[in-house]
């Protein structure tokens, strides 16, 4: 077989090398011609294909930051602003090329845990994006940028800052790390305040660096600014005096609302204890909601002026009526009691002494439907519609479910609930001659929604009666304001027990008042929750804070005194309710 193969190869014809070379040259020439034609086709006739490929590989869209709207007080003082900051992120696929010493230096500058960046260098990871740190001082970001670490990039963002800190914290609220409102006005007006980021088309190089800006796909849209009715100077006064009241009375909490009696604007709404909205680290149990607007309670004797006004306005009692109290009043199987036997009382003395018996007898002179309608018109059981998250509507049982005793207890503030804001609002009906104002957190000049609840004659009559409460033999002598006439009412309320009924050792101390009483401009309501320093009557725990804030607020607003001579300092009589 070996010889056979040799014999066959010996007979093979010689190879034509020239022919092969020509075939190869023709093949190469045809290939070159085809490439030229293909190049012309792609670049001239079908160039959109290559352009699309280029866009896919090198053109990108970046988010363009916008400002969240500012929150300012009525005088333009900033309460919430957005400051430009830097966030640092990385592409882990590129970070693996960074030197260990570079990463260590970045961790030192940013005060990061040692080895945090090394963990992102995991070769098995498929991640292409991870935040290293967000919203830091631009100076720190510049130090990191100077290190020129591969895989580390920078993004401009905004950080929310609250110049007033704890003073307006419960009112303004705060945002989260993504600048979305979480509490207070930041949450309630999120749609108006929030920014709409834009989009920008850019060209990147092979290592993803931006080398050119192509066009703005979408312009960024800043959030709208919000101007509040709040006067930060008065808000500070309220905050400071509530802090003092909290400590002096060893109370669980205190809250205050200051209203403009002519426009219904909320000039201050403060709570203690408070918190710092500029930090995300808060003690356990920190309350972020504004209790002046969101929490309800039974208002106690502070509603008695409404009972008197309703009876006078409906002609159900004579202005000169004298009411026998005798210290107690039986209604069916139930008994209404006073702290003392006040004997025979006029309407003025009913409010001055804060008699439950007299208030009950007056209330029972009115038809249940009429009496209920007056309370309802005053805003009890109706949400104030501020746009504030969680605002309370309170409760007012329908008159159809009332028995005589139910109607009686409502007359001295039990069986009905409201927020301190709702209570302050109701008093605008006395302050503005029978007109009840709607309330607002936004600055305005006129209240177009004011409604008449009482006649001007009745409102002035009751306001005059309320001035006697602040006299030295009334229940709120400590509410006086030097140089101004003050009208108001105290309340001391037993708190509900978790086991049912009312406690014997937990109280709310209340005072609601207005000044100058001749033509009131301000209404202030104060509540002290669970005072534990030996005093709990509203005239002793809430009235002093009212006096100090009212004194400062009247001066801030430049309201002239209406009392020529200062009231002499006399011994304070112990309050009854």
The partner residues of 90 in beta bridges, in order of sequence, read 130, 152
For Cα atoms 509, 510, 514, give the angle at the middle one, nearest 5 degrees: 155
Which residues are identified as catalytic? 301
Distance CA 119, CA 97 (A): 13
For Cα atoms 544, 546, 549, give the angle at the middle one, nearest 5 degrees: 110
Tokens at 291, concatenated: 């209790």
User: CA dihedral defined by 451, 455, 456, 457, rounded to 10 degrees?
Assistant: -170
Closest C-alpha to 541, from 166, 290, 237, 256 = 256
The partner residues of 80 in beta bridges, in order of sequence, read 71
Segment (H or E) for 169: helix 169-172
Strand pairing of 451-452 and 266-272?
A: unpaired
Closest C-alpha to 337, from 323, 351, 356 = 356
Tokens at 340, concatenated: 């003392």
* Residues whose CB falls within 8 Å of the CB of residue 414, separated by 6 or more in sequence, listed in order: 298, 300, 493
Task: Identify whether 273 is preceded by a cis peptide bond (ω within 30 of 0).
Answer: yes
Distance CA 43, CA 51 (A): 9
In SS3 terms, 41-87 reads as HHHHHCHHHHHHHHHHHHEEEEEECCCCCCEECCCCCEEEEEEEEEE
Judged by DSSP in three states, 539 sits in helix
Q: DSSP letter string over 85-102?
A: EEEEEE-HHHHTTS-HHH
Alpha-carbon separation of residue 418 from 413, 422, 424, 440, 531 (angstroms):
10, 6, 10, 17, 20
CB crowding 528-559: b at 16 or more within 10 Å, else e: bbbbeeebbbbbbbbbbbbbbbbbbbbeeeeb
């Amino acid at each position: 077989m070996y010889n056979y193969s040799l014999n066959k190869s010996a007979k093979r014809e010689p190879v034509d090398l020239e022919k092969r070379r020509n075939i190869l040259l023709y093949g190469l020439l045809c290939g070159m011609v085809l490439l030229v034609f293909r190049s012309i086709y792609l670049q001239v006739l079908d160039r959109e294909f290559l352009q699309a490929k280029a866009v896919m590989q090198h053109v990108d869209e970046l988010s363009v930051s916008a400002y969240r709207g500012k929150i300012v007080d009525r005088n333009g003082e900033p309460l919430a602003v957005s400051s430009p900051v830097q966030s640092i992120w990385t592409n882990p696929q590129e970070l693996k090329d960074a030197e260990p010493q570079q990463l260590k230096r970045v961790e030192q500058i940013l005060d990061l845990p040692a080895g945090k960046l090394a963990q992102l260098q995991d070769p098995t990871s498929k991640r292409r994006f991870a935040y290293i740190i967000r919203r830091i001082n631009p100076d720190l970001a510049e130090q990191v940028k100077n290190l020129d670490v591969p895989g580390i990039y920078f993004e401009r963002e905004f950080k929310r800052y609250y110049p007033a800190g704890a003073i307006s914290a419960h009112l303004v609220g705060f945002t989260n790390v993504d600048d979305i409102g979480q509490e207070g006005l930041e949450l309630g007006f999120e749609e108006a305040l929030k920014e709409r980021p834009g989009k920008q088309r850019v060209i990147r190089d092979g290592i993803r660096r931006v080398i050119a800006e192509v066009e703005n796909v979408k312009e960024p849209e800043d959030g709208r600014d919000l101007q509040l009715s709040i006067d930060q100077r008065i808000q500070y006064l309220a905050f400071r005096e509530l802090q003092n009241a909290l400590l002096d009375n060893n109370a669980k909490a205190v809250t205050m609302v200051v209203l403009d009696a002519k426009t219904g604007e909320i000039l201050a709404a403060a709570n203690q204890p408070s918190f710092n909205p500029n930090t995300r680290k808060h003690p356990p149990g920190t309350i972020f909601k504004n209790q002046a607007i969101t929490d309800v309670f039974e208002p106690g004797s502070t509603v008695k002026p409404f009972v008197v006004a309703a009876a006078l306005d409906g002609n159900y009692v004579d202005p000169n009526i004298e009411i026998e109290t005798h210290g107690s009043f039986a209604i069916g199987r139930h008994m209404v009691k006073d702290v003392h036997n006040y004997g025979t009382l006029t309407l003025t003395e009913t409010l001055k002494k804060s008699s439950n018996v007299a208030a009950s007898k007056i209330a029972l002179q009115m038809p249940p439907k009429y009496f209920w309608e007056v309370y309802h018109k005053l805003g009890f059981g109706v949400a104030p519609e501020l746009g504030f998250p969680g605002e309370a509507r309170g409760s007012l049982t329908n008159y159809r479910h009332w028995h005589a005793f139910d109607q009686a207890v409502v007359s001295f503030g039990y069986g009905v609930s409201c927020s301190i804001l709702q209570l302050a609002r109701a008093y605008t009906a006395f302050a503005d001659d029978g007109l009840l104002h709607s309330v607002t957190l936004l600055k305005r000049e006129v209240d177009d929604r004011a409604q008449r609840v009482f006649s001007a004659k009745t409102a002035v009559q009751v306001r005059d009666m309320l001035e006697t409460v602040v006299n030295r033999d009334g229940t709120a002598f400590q509410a006086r304001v030097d140089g101004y006439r003050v009208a108001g009412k105290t309340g001391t309320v037993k708190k509900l027990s978790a086991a049912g009924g009312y406690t014997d050792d937990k109280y709310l101390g209340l005072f609601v008042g207005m000044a100058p009483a001749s033509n009131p401009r301000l209404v202030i309501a104060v509540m002290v929750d669970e005072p534990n320093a030996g005093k709990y009557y509203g005239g002793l725990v809430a009235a002093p804070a009212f006096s100090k804030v009212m004194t400062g607020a009247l001066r801030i607003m430049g309201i002239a005194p209406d009392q020529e001579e200062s009231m002499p300092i006399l011994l304070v009589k112990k309050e009854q309710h």
